Chain A
Amino acid sequence: MSDMVEVKKLTKKFGDLVAVDNVSFSVKTGEIFAFLGPNGAGKSTTIKILTTLLHPTSGSAKINGFDILKQKSEIRKSFGIVFQDTSLDTELTAYENMDFHAALYNTQKDIRKDRIYDLLKFVGLFEKKDIIVKTFSGGMKRRLEIARGLIHHPKILFLDEPTLGLDAQTRNHLWEYIKKLNKEEGMTVFLTTHYLDEAEKIAEKIAIIDYGKIVAIGTVAELKKKTKTKSLEAAYLKFTGTKIREEEASSLDHLRNTVRR
């Protein structure tokens, strides 16, 4: 099987702070890959680099065989993303947000409406399709974003803490659907989460990142075996320690003040 994501010696510095430090890993096509790590470890920064939102300081990466620096447009067509914080236009309706996305991704006009309706039904927002997003709760917005990220049938789906703030029902439902898409469409999934039980259940491969460096990579069973622990959470804590990290309460990743010296 070929690699959907190929990262080589990737480094990102913000001034003196090394957010991602010489990271290399790969994700196989069709794999569900979980990227775990404490707050400020470099997860979101890595995702932003892979999704062409940030330029790396050095190193290279390929998504779906395309280079993140030279073939941005091809890469952008290849992935779907659900960001850590909302990226909806809150002045538009749910349907308009979906339609906007479909138009930007050049989804054929004749199938656009059906696909949007199907996805809205899946996330349980069909009845609310003509309501302005401003009035939505946090969970509803998140469901809408997930539906939006799937409109153009991406080869790889990035999910940056997608279940944050969702109830158990929606979380289960979501993961079931993601698994289904992964199986039936062969969609690669690249996710981050703080819910380690979720990662343990769904991910085929796990990478743990801390202070910008990958400290462990492997299947859940391998990680447990390596640390001689019984759960992923225990293994995770062995790798990353129990110290609580500081992170500035800003959505801007580079405002982090977790400088390690």
Chain B
Amino acid sequence: MNAIAVMWIRQVKRYVRSKSRIIGSLGMPILFLVALGFGFGPIFAKAGGGDYIQFLAPGIMGMSILFMSVFNGLELIWDRQFGFLKESLVAPVSRNAIVLGRTLGGATVSTLQGIIVLIVSMLIGFQVSNWLFIPLAIFFMFLISFLFNALGTIIAAKLEDTQAFQLIVNFVIMPIFFLSGALFPIGELPSALGFVTKLNPLSYGVDSLRYTLTGFSELGIVLDFIVLIVGIIILSLIGGYLFSNLEA
């Protein structure tokens, strides 16, 4: 229990202290919201989709959470390179507790990021349909964060150094982002693409945010919840297993 709390505090402290990271990670979501939101807005409306900002903003929240979470998980590589990993590996506590604390800390951080993007979206013109659902939206943000933090940890446990970083951005993060429902509705996609998006956990994450914030859902909130929870359990088990057998 103790170890989980200690690791959690560490992750959160590191985030709060790096102001440049907080500000820097807001650049892309704002750019996407403004450029895509206002750029595609008229076409989306003409096609009968309604207000694109309303549709897009939850997707962009999902995107920022995805990026932040995977990067948080990947921090393990830095810890390995800067040596700190060894300190946690020789500690007389369960490795599962350490990896869980790390993941929860990272998930907290990316949930905060999601909340910040929600606020920014509202400043740009995004309207929340039911304020009472906001805590539920934050809860789902946490689930998405948890899932992708665990994914980042798994990748990091398998990687030796930071060289492969670009590879992960291009072949893991970008596909997860673009092949989810973040930017476009997934209901009427060509079958192959539709199939892939339905395998992507972010599709369910974005759908849950869209439902809790705007009342619109394509996949159903219950299914969203189940997929996220199952994903979290599977990825955490894999992460815990890999971390327990990690050598330094």
Which residues from chain A sit less than 8 Å from chain B, CB to CB? 48, 51-55, 73-74, 76-77, 79, 81, 83, 85-92, 96, 100-101, 103-106, 132, 251-252
Contacts and interface: CB of A to CB of B under 8 A. Distances in A.
Contact of A88 (B83, B92, B247): B83
Interface in B1-51: 2-3, 5-6, 10, 13-14, 17-18
A104 B6 contact: yes
A132 B13 CA distance: 12
B233 interface: no
A53 B87 contact: no
B82 interface: yes
A87 B3 contact: no
A17 B87 CA distance: 27
Contacts, number: 71
B6 A91 contact: no
Contacts of A103: 2-3, 5-6
Contacts of B85: 87
B83 A86 contact: yes
Contacts of B247: 53-55
Interface in B52-95: 82-94
Q: Which 5 A-B pairs have the closest CB atoms?
A: A76-B92, A87-B83, A104-B91, A77-B92, A87-B87
Contacts of B94: 73
A54 to B, nearest CB: 5
Interface of B is mostly: helix
A103 B4 CA distance: 10
Given A104-B88, A252-B160, 8 more contacts: A52-B90, A54-B247, A76-B90, A76-B92, A87-B87, A103-B6, A104-B92, A106-B92
Given A55-B247, A103-B2, A89 B92 contact: no
A23 B234 CA distance: 41
B248 interface: yes
B6 A87 contact: no
B13 A83 contact: no
18 contacts: A51-B90, A52-B90, A53-B248, A83-B83, A86-B82, A88-B87, A89-B10, A89-B84, A89-B87, A90-B84, A92-B10, A103-B6, A104-B2, A104-B88, A104-B91, A105-B92, A106-B2, A132-B17
A88 B84 contact: yes
A102 B230 CA distance: 35
B19 to A, nearest CB: 12
A246 B160 CA distance: 22
Nearest to A77: B92
A90 B82 contact: yes
Given A73-B92, A76-B92, A88-B84, A54 B6 contact: no
Which of A48, A77, A85, A103 has the most CB atoms of chain B within a 10 A radius of its CB? A103
Nearest to B95: A72
Contacts of B6: 100, 103-104
Contact of B86 (A53, A90, A100, A104): A53
Contacts of A81: 90
A182 to B, nearest CB: 21
Interface in B218-248: 247-248
Nearest to A53: B248
Contacts of B92: 73-74, 76-77, 104-106
Nearest to A84: B83
Nearest to A103: B6
A223 to B, nearest CB: 31
Contacts of B87: 87-89, 101
A255 B47 CA distance: 59
Contacts of A85: 83
Interface in B92-109: 92-94
Contacts of A88: 83-84, 87
A91 B83 contact: no
B89 A91 contact: no
Contacts of A105: 91-92
A87 B82 CA distance: 7
B86 A87 contact: yes
A90 B94 CA distance: 24
A104 B83 contact: no
